Chains A and B, each alone.
Chain A
């Protein structure tokens, strides 16, 4: 098997047929795995932040949830994917312990805001999330196998788990 394609911070990578896409070390960032099983086309976006400060001046579209999701879809469509039938899994969005004075509502950390923003951006394009492994306080690595549609997640110092299989008959419920 060829070595996995690393999807760095704010990057988006797409592939067709074979290969592996991976985000190594997700903290508050979110890896969005997208898959078109009829075409065998996969995409992985490594989102850093919830929304662009100024939508007209975004250096890297993959940096933000609100610009990254449409860009992921665009790149997958370019490869021939049917972006209305994509299957989705999201991984990451960990955060440090919440701060805030007792009695007041805890403020939202980047991790929690990222989860919300990614969910909203996916709702906006009518895509449902099949499986997710988000939140908590630990780092994760996500791998998407293009040939089999398998999404695996490894949390530091724990065993790797299969989060879902996009080609399987019964994807794990979100």
Chain B
């Protein structure tokens, strides 16, 4: 495998994901105390294609609105700005995640399924534990494996070898990535998102989703994304060649006040939430 720095890998990878400016400004706006339905809507309608996709999602069967909503501002009033922010994030990231990532053995739609499942599970955990806002856990879960979008190019052709090493040595896949590259897909993701100026939880949960115990500043969202990722993997949603070759942190469970039987309860709750959230995919693929 090539010995390149993280910066070199990123600069030599074409077709990197970028969040539209409108989405980034929606995220910042919804975090402000003085944000209003109008101010949030104004950021979205700056990007007409984003606005159209958000409206399609808002009108999907999932929300069961009594009538068709045609204005973004109206959608914000009815659904709330946190939900509309999630929709903007979903609409902006679907195209990258729906792609095939051969390096990880992920077919078309697999990475999307895994990302949406992790987001949904992280939100279920947030709502169950009430230790962080559900929408933040959702968005961080959605982006957690962002780094795979860059690193897959460099794994193509060697992933089976990496998996063999991981299984033979009993070491998690991310550790083998670090041994091979000097960094893992979590580091790459955090690096990609560094310029987006998102709240700290995004960077931390991307960076430490496989090693939450090593997170320098405690953040419940990191633990939620870690466990959300675990639930998505356990339920087999978008498993690639790296499968479930990762470690579950007991610390993450403890910090959130959970135990193993609560994991099974959360898995059951997750299924109900997943039936709803996964139904949005057909609006995006249309």
Contacts and interface: CB of A to CB of B under 8 A. Distances in A.
- Do A and B truly interact? yes
Interface in A1-51: 9-10, 25-29, 48-50
A110 B263 contact: yes
Given A63-B268, A110-B264, A138-B244, A99 B235 contact: no
Given A99-B249, A109-B248, A53 B268 contact: yes
A95 interface: yes
B250 to A, nearest CB: 5
Contact of B234 (A59, A63, A96, A108): A96
A26 B267 CA distance: 14
Nearest to A113: B264
B141 interface: no
Contacts of A28: 234-236, 244
B170 interface: yes
Contacts, number: 99
B17 interface: no
A26 B238 CA distance: 10
A96 B235 contact: no
Interface in B144-172: 159-160, 163, 167, 170, 172
Nearest to B113: A25
Contacts of A139: 236, 239-240, 243-244
A111 interface: yes
Contacts of A48: 235, 267-268, 271
B183 interface: no
Contacts of B250: 99-100
A97 B247 contact: yes
Given A137-B245, A139-B244, A49 B267 contact: yes
Give the size category of B's interface with A.
20 to 34
Contacts of B45: none
Contacts of B240: 139, 156-157
B271 A156 contact: no
A27 B249 contact: no
B4 interface: no
A94 interface: yes
Contacts of A156: 105, 239-241, 243
Nearest to B159: A157
B230 interface: yes
A100 B253 CA distance: 12
Nearest to A28: B234
A107 interface: yes
Nearest to B230: A96
Contact of A27 (B234, B241, B265): B234
Contacts of A26: 236
Nearest to A92: B236
Contacts of B264: 49-50, 53, 110
Interface of B: 105, 159-160, 163, 167, 170, 172, 230, 233-241, 243-250, 260, 263-265, 267-268, 271-272, 274
Q: Which 4 A-B pairs have the closest CB atoms?
A: A139-B239, A27-B236, A138-B243, A157-B105
25 contacts: A9-B235, A10-B271, A25-B236, A25-B238, A27-B233, A27-B236, A28-B235, A28-B236, A48-B267, A49-B267, A53-B268, A59-B272, A94-B244, A96-B233, A96-B245, A97-B246, A99-B247, A108-B260, A138-B243, A138-B244, A138-B245, A139-B239, A139-B240, A156-B239, A157-B240
